[in-house]
Amino acid sequence: MSKMFEAAAAAFQFLSRLPIRREVPFTPEVQQRSVIFYPLVGAVIGFIVVGLGLGLSFVLPSFPAAVIMLVVWVALTGGLHLDGWMDSADALLSYRSRERMLEIMKDSRVGAMGVIACVLLLLLKTSLIMSVWELAGGTWRQEVMLLMLAPIWSRWFMVHAMYRFPMARGSEGLAALFHGLTGRKRLLAGVMALLLTLVILGWNVITGFSPKSWWIGGGGLIIPFIAWAAGSLAAGRMSRRLGGLTGDTYGALNELIETVILIYLVLLLSHT
């Protein structure tokens, strides 16, 4: 049991800036065990963001509230995944050789393509969060709880990508900590994500208990497949160009899948 608590603490310390005050050894064994709890980290981040939105809905209109929510969303991760998004954009959009792209990703400086990709991503995410608000009728009803599914399944896919795709740098880099990740840990991470999803969708159905809530609940069950499909397509393309994945590409995949899921939620809510 203590190893599970250690793994959970490692997951929160690695993927968030939440104050988890526990000494955890930064070893491959602990980090690989921690991936089981990646979806839980996403759920907690999503819960905080949605809770903040609930409070802001009483004092602010949708646009500034959405901006503040996204600021907190990024802050809770320490910008970890957004940094990976920018580094990946700088490298992959440079159309250089594999070796040069890997060098660009290691550079701590951010280039023009990284800045452009970051600005466009944040604008899109803000508009999507605002759209979910407005489609929920201007109040934070149970539909907005579906926002939590985006950080849950984006983090599950990172675990899947660690297992499914090779490491671009072999034994070098942060991604090397997860080299040799077992299928069992990927499966347990998937079970964790699925259980959290069923709780969220179940709450939506119970509190709504209407044909609309059932429709939304059913639509929410498609999200794992959307995360897998979008992530696999992007990860496969990255892996072919880089010869594998890196820590930066994991972060980029997280941001991409969160955004794709938010787009899907807007489409789902707009047709209910």
User: Where do the H-state alpha helices sit in 57-168?
Assistant: 62-77, 80-92, 98-106, 112-135, 149-164
pLDDT for position 203: 76
Best-predicted range by mean pLDDT among 31-35, 95-99, 154-158? Answer: 154-158
What is the per-residue pLDDT across 106-131, written as a single tens digit (0 to 9) for each?
A: 888 889 999 999 999 999 999 999 99
Phi, psi dihedral angles at 89 (to 5 degrees): -65, -45
Our CA angle for 245, 247, 248, nearest 5°, is 90
5, 21 in Cβ contact below 8 A?
A: no
The separation between the first and the last C-alpha atoms of the chain, rounded to the nearest angstrom, is 44
**Cα Rg of the chain (Å, integer):** 18
| Region for residue 137 given its phi and psi (left: phi exceeds 0; alpha: psi -120 to 50; beta: otherwise) | left
What is the per-residue pLDDT across 43-68, written as a single tens digit (0 to 9) for each?
A: 999 999 999 988 888 899 889 999 99
User: What does the DSSP assignment read for 138-188?
Assistant: SS--GGGGGGGHHHHHHHHHHHHHHHHS-BTTTTSSGGGGGTT--HHHHHH
Of 33, 112, 3, 121, which is closest to residue 70 (Cα–Cα)?
Answer: 121
What is the per-residue pLDDT across 198-252, written as a single tens digit (0 to 9) for each?
A: 998 887 766 654 566 666 777 888 999 999 999 999 999 999 999 999 999 999 9
- Record the pTM: 0.93
More confident residue, 139 or 129: 129
